[in-house]
Amino acid sequence: MSGQSFSGASRYVLDAELAQIVNVSMALEMPLLLKGEPGTGKTMLAHAIAESLGMPLLVLNVKSSMKLVEALYQYDTLTRLNDSRFGDSKRDVSNIEAYIKMGKIGQAFVAERRTVLLIDEIDKADTDFQDDMLDVLDQMEFDIIEIDKTIRTKHRPVIIITSNAKKDLSDPFLGRCNFHHIAFPDPKMMRKIIDVHFPGLSGALAEAAIDAFYKLRQLEGIEKRPATRELINWIRALQSDPDFSPKRLLKEDLPFLGVLFKKSQDFEQATRVTQRRARY
Amino acid sequence: MFIDYFYQLKDHGVPVSPTAFLTLHKALNQGLVQSLDDFYTVSRAVLVKSERYFDLFDQVFAHYFKGAELPDAQGLAMEEMVRAMLEQWLQNPKELANALGIDEAELQKLTPEQLIEYFKERLKDQTERHDGGKRWIGTGGTSPVGHSGFHPEGMRVGGESRNKSAVKVALERRYKDYSLEGPLTRSMMGEALKRLRHLRPAGPKDQVNVDKTIYQTMKNAGEIEIVFDSALKDRLKVILAIDNGGWSMDPYIPLVQTLFDYARAQFKELKTYFFHNTIYETIWGDSSRYKKPVTLTELARRDPETRVIFVGDASMAPYELMAQDGSIYITDRSGRPSIACLQFLAKTFRHAIWLNPVSSQRWPYTRTISLIGQIFPMFELTIDGLEKAVARLMAQ
């Protein structure tokens, strides 16, 4: 475990501050809680860590109705009931353990090597979910009640937790995590990100597109502001249009606004403003 | 170590916990912190758990480390003195030279670093106490008054900047946008109101009820019978009554609009009504308060478990609330003073609250606010107020 440190991956542009926080969290064996606007690469970070350290990645996508037990393990009662009734399966009905399936957290705990565990969008679940998770994260173990067995981590996974919420998670939960807020990348950083995604992209196009993108983000009254993902898709769209030249962007003639703005009100607003500007 | 720092953060309102402080020390002991920059990043990640406090943290950090590299084990007093001396020196070299009883020209020759060292030496002479220069953090080549140090007020004394120092980063206050004072946005409201729900089984029966299945199977002497239930869905009834009249609510229109938008998207059974200043016998289903009158008697027939949220500044002339024919509309002469109508509503709907966009500090200055506050629990229309309001609405 020691000696491994994270310094970025092939498709992920990392700023030094975040790299350090990741490394410290790994050394302290504490989960890292990431917040930030959608599209700032919270989820991507976990993928990048897994890739660069060569660890398997387990993703737990939290859903609103999720109970923690589902993330730990599931006891497949129905199958057992069926097996006991018809007796045509190879499983041993009297052995409950054969009917326990590990959830994502459980898999990370019993894995033979250190894994990266991404708990994505934890704010979606009830606060109960976080509260229940406290002990599991603290002790790095949980009990399977049905077979009275405690599952301990063989290798403490690198845990990355993301949250989109503006509101804070519960205090005891926060106390067990390290925290970082990923700010929206500035144009310079964005240029690097674009370069990573489009290695052969002409400088003029990248410059003009990023410039136009940040201007569009500034528009008043936009509910869902376009993020990195939208910009990347937009550039892809621009590239695929044979008639397109970067000069058009400078003249405020912006095609494919629908790629950037996903809400109809936002789209109308953006079209209105850009058309007004183009007239001058 | 850094206990001062910890308490300064705490005193300035950054919620820091002792556990986190211990974790920080664990990080220090493991040699994870090699420089002040590291210390900035690590202490923030470990101690501060919300971006809302990042700005505050930056300020405290910048204040505490005020442009200097990490202080010596001797503590801050010496550092402060040296800094003060240096500051004075920059302003008026002659005066300080005289005070120390040395030649100004002599001091002029020194580089700023030497100057600081010199001041320090002099101070040590005077206090006759020097507890050894044991440094806490790393040996990354950062002397306390390093080559790239900063002048107390952020002015550079000398040397080339290699990197942005942590203090400078902190001084940029990059996280100002996220601090608590920010306006209430839709997503923040969503967060606050999320807990406001009432789950009831609804929709198709597609979830297996294990307990019932086992029970039924037993009853059938082992013949499996699988019982299905329908999933839980939110079926909370909400009435939102908004004060949309008069100029007094004008400054809060965007805020109320956001709340309204969110509520409409969130709640399946939401009724919105409008009123001006306060409620008499009727409230209105349309925002122009003209086409769709709804009398209180009609309203009272709704489910008493309905959550009622009033939004208004509750600021008006006291007679509008208290007098029998207090309404400012001549057509509205019902006979019951508005305060009685409000009391009637409060009695009918036990889960009713009043959200007031006026900051709570200003509440005592308006008489009608405190009067209405006695009838309905009143909360500020901010993220914290909303949270409290939701807790109140969901209380049994």
In-domain check, residue B360: yes
Task: Indicate whether A242 and A148 sit together in one domain.
Answer: no
- On average, the pLDDT of chain B sits at 71
Mean pLDDT confidence for B287-304: 81
pLDDT at B25 over 80: yes
In-domain check, residue B189: no
Overall domain count for chain A: 2
Mean pLDDT confidence for B306-310: 87
In-domain check, residue A131: yes
In-domain check, residue A81: no
Task: Indicate whether B361 and B217 sit together in one domain.
Answer: no
Dihedral of CA atoms B361, B367, B369, B374 in degrees, nearest 10, equals 110
Percent of chain A with pLDDT over 90: 4
Task: Indicate whether B223 and B241 sit together in one domain.
Answer: no
Is residue A247 within a helix (H) or strand (E), and if so which, with residue range?
A: helix A247-250
In terms of pLDDT, which residue wins out, B260 or B179?
B260
Task: Indicate whether B39 and B115 sit together in one domain.
Answer: yes
ipTM of predicted complex: 0.74
Task: Indicate whether B258 and B219 sit together in one domain.
Answer: no
Provide the pLDDT for residue B15: 83
Task: Say how many C-beta atoms besides its own lie within 10 A of residue B365's C-beta.
Answer: 10
Decide if A204 touches B, using CB distance below 8 A.
Answer: no
In-domain check, residue B275: yes
In-domain check, residue B251: yes
DSSP string computed for B15-63: ---HHHHHHHHHHHHTT---SHHHHHHHHHHHH---GGGHHHHHHHHHH
Q: How far apart are CA A197 and CA B386, in angstroms?
A: 42
In terms of pLDDT, which residue wins out, B61 or B95?
B61
- A276: tokens are 């007004």
In-domain check, residue A49: yes
In-domain check, residue B269: yes
In terms of pLDDT, which residue wins out, B156 or A235?
A235
Task: Indicate whether A113 and A221 sit together in one domain.
Answer: no
Q: Give the domain-ending residue among A164, A182, A200.
A: A182
Query: Using one digit for the tens of pLDDT, what is the confidence trace for A11-61?
Result: 777 777 888 888 888 888 888 998 887 777 888 888 888 888 888 999 998
Mean pLDDT confidence for B49-54: 80
Task: Indicate whether B18 and B47 sit together in one domain.
Answer: yes
Q: How far apart are CA A254 and CA A249, in angstroms?
A: 6
Task: Indicate whether A56 and A152 sit together in one domain.
Answer: yes
Instruction: Name residues 20-49 of chain A within 8 A of B (Cβ).
Output: 20-21, 23-25, 27-28, 30, 32-33, 35-36
Best of A63, A169, A181 to mutate (most B CBs within 10 Å, chain B): A181
Residue B303, SS3?
coil
In-domain check, residue B328: yes
Percent of chain B with pLDDT over 90: 1
- Smallest CA–CA distance, residue B389 to chain A, in Å, is 15
Mean pLDDT confidence for B274-279: 84
In terms of pLDDT, which residue wins out, A73 or B384?
A73
Q: Give the domain-ending residue among A182, A203, A224.
A: A182
Look up the domain containing B376 and give its range.
Answer: 235-394
Task: Indicate whether B303 and B167 sit together in one domain.
Answer: no
Chain B residue with Cα closest to A32: B45
Partners of residue A143 on adjacent β-strands = A150
In-domain check, residue B283: yes
In terms of pLDDT, which residue wins out, B218 or B336?
B218
Task: Indicate whether B348 and B220 sit together in one domain.
Answer: no
pLDDT at A210 over 80: yes
Provide the pLDDT for residue B152: 33
Partners of residue A33 on adjacent β-strands = A161, A179
Task: Indicate whether B52 and B63 sit together in one domain.
Answer: yes
CA distances from A3 to A113, A142, A156, B32 (A): 16, 29, 15, 12
Burial-class residue A25 by CB neighbours within 10 Å (0-12, 13-18, 19+).
buried
Look-up of token digits 């500007």: A277
Query: Which amino acid is located at A76 in the chain?
Result: D
In terms of pLDDT, which residue wins out, B324 or A174?
A174
Provide the pLDDT for residue B102: 64
In-domain check, residue A264: yes
Task: Indicate whether A161 and A53 sit together in one domain.
Answer: yes
Task: Indicate whether A23 and A154 sit together in one domain.
Answer: yes
Question: Inter-chain contact A27–B30, Cβ cutoff 8 Å?
Answer: yes
Confidence grade of residue B390 (pLDDT, cut at 50, 70, 90) = confident
Query: Using one digit for the tens of pLDDT, what is the confidence trace for B229-244?
Result: 877 766 778 888 888 7
Query: Using one digit for the tens of pLDDT, what is the confidence trace for A234-268?
Result: 888 888 877 777 777 777 777 888 888 887 878 88
Provide the pLDDT for residue B170: 64
Q: How far apart are CA A280 and CA A278, in angstroms?
A: 5
Confidence grade of residue B143 (pLDDT, cut at 50, 70, 90) = very low
Pairing of strands B307-311, B352-356: parallel
Lowest model confidence (mean pLDDT) among A178-192, B30-44, B99-113, B277-291? B99-113
Confidence grade of residue B108 (pLDDT, cut at 50, 70, 90) = low
Provide the pLDDT for residue A2: 41
Task: Indicate whether A30 and A135 sit together in one domain.
Answer: yes
Confidence grade of residue B314 (pLDDT, cut at 50, 70, 90) = confident
Task: Indicate whether B262 and B349 sit together in one domain.
Answer: yes
Task: Say how many C-beta atoms besides its own lie within 10 A of residue B29's C-beta.
Answer: 9
Decide if A168 touches B, using CB distance below 8 A.
Answer: yes
Task: Say how many C-beta atoms besides its own lie within 10 A of residue A51's C-beta.
Answer: 16
Q: How far apart are CA B250 and CA B241, in angstroms?
A: 16
In-domain check, residue A84: no
In terms of pLDDT, which residue wins out, B68 or A274?
A274
pLDDT at B148 over 50: no
Among candidates A82, A168, A178 on the partner chain, residue whose Cβ is nearest the Cβ of B46: A178
CA A4 vs. chain centroid, Å, equals 22
Provide the pLDDT for residue A280: 58
- Smallest CA–CA distance, residue A225 to chain B, in Å, is 13
Provide the pLDDT for residue A224: 76
In-domain check, residue A208: yes
Provide the pLDDT for residue B113: 63
Kindly give, in sequence order, each residue whose CB lies less than 8 Å from that of residue B35, ignoring residues fewer than 6 positions away: B137, B138, B140, B142, B166
Query: Which amino acid is located at B19 in the chain?
Result: T
Percent of chain B with pLDDT over 70: 60
Task: Indicate whether A168 and A203 sit together in one domain.
Answer: no
Task: Indicate whether A39 and A147 sit together in one domain.
Answer: yes
Query: Sign of dihedral through CA atoms B268, B274, B277, B283?
Result: negative
Task: Indicate whether A23 and A161 sit together in one domain.
Answer: yes
Provide the pLDDT for residue B138: 32
Lowest model confidence (mean pLDDT) among A223-227, B118-122, B212-216, B256-260? B118-122
Mean pLDDT confidence for A112-123: 88
Task: Indicate whether A152 and A236 sit together in one domain.
Answer: no
Q: How far apart are CA A108 and CA A59, in angstroms?
A: 10
Task: Indicate whether B174 and B216 sit together in one domain.
Answer: no
Q: Give the domain-ending residue among A155, A182, A209.
A: A182
The sheet with strand B282-284 has its strands ordered as B293-295, B282-284, B269-275, B237-243, B307-311, B352-356, B378-380
Provide the pLDDT for residue B149: 35
pLDDT at B307 over 70: yes
In-domain check, residue B193: no
Mean pLDDT confidence for B35-48: 85
Q: What contacts 24+ positions apart, CB below 8 Å, involve B214-220? A: B214/A77, B214/A81, B217/A81
Measured between beta carbons, which residues in chain B are less than 8 angstroms from residue A65?
Answer: 231-232
In terms of pLDDT, which residue wins out, A210 or B324?
A210
Question: Inter-chain contact A17–B50, Cβ cutoff 8 Å?
Answer: no
Among candidates B26, B49, B210 on the partner chain, residue whose Cβ is nearest the Cβ of A28: B26
Provide the pLDDT for residue A118: 92
The sheet with strand A178-182 has its strands ordered as A57-61, A116-120, A158-163, A32-36, A178-182
Query: Using one digit for the tens of pLDDT, what is the confidence trace for B173-217?
Result: 666 555 544 456 666 666 666 666 655 666 677 778 888 888 888
User: In CATH, what number is assigned to the domain containing residue B339?
Assistant: 3.40.50
Q: How far apart are CA B150 and CA B67, in angstroms?
A: 5
Chain B residue with Cα closest to A65: B232
Provide the pLDDT for residue A3: 47
- Smallest CA–CA distance, residue A241 to chain B, in Å, is 36
Task: Indicate whether A172 and A200 sit together in one domain.
Answer: no
User: In CATH, what number is assigned to the domain containing residue A118?
Assistant: 3.40.50.300
pLDDT at B135 over 60: no
In-domain check, residue A225: yes
Mean pLDDT confidence for B358-363: 83
Look-up of token digits 């030497």: B114
pLDDT at B79 over 60: no
Task: Indicate whether A125 and A40 sit together in one domain.
Answer: yes
Among candidates A24, A167, A183 on the partner chain, residue whose Cβ is nearest the Cβ of B32: A24
Measured between beta carbons, which residues in chain B are less than 8 angstroms from residue A225?
Answer: none
Among candidates B50, B195, B231 on the partner chain, residue whose Cβ is nearest the Cβ of A168: B50
Overall domain count for chain B: 3
- Smallest CA–CA distance, residue B285 to chain A, in Å, is 25
Provide the pLDDT for residue A136: 85
Decide if A188 touches B, using CB distance below 8 A.
Answer: no
pLDDT at A186 over 60: yes
Task: Indicate whether B174 and B203 sit together in one domain.
Answer: no
Decide if A77 touches B, using CB distance below 8 A.
Answer: yes
Task: Indicate whether B112 and B30 sit together in one domain.
Answer: yes
Look up the domain containing A40 and give its range.
Answer: 16-75+101-182
